[in-house]
Amino acid sequence: MSYPTNGEAREIEPGILECGPFQNTPEARGGYFAFSGRELHWYEQLKGGQFGLTRAEALMVARDCCRRSRATQT
């Protein structure tokens, strides 16, 4: 999978933009998803322990929030 670089944003599905990674080293990477006027940051340590949300976890939360937002608008 290719990730945006240099702060570029890309729409990964309707209503969800991915920005970053703003840290992209052999040890760790991180970025954020923008949706419904919110930002949800993720960070993955590729070596050592994990803390915070992984990219997959953050995307799952963003999708859930977008689904809920659409459901309340109808």
Q: Helix, strand, or coil here: 28?
A: strand
**Higher-scoring residue by pLDDT: 60, 44:** 60
**Higher-scoring residue by pLDDT: 52, 58:** 58
Chain centre to alpha carbon of residue 31 = 6
* Tokens of residue 37, six digits: 């006027």
pLDDT for 71 equals: 79
pTM, full prediction: 0.75
CB 3 within 8 A of CB 33: no
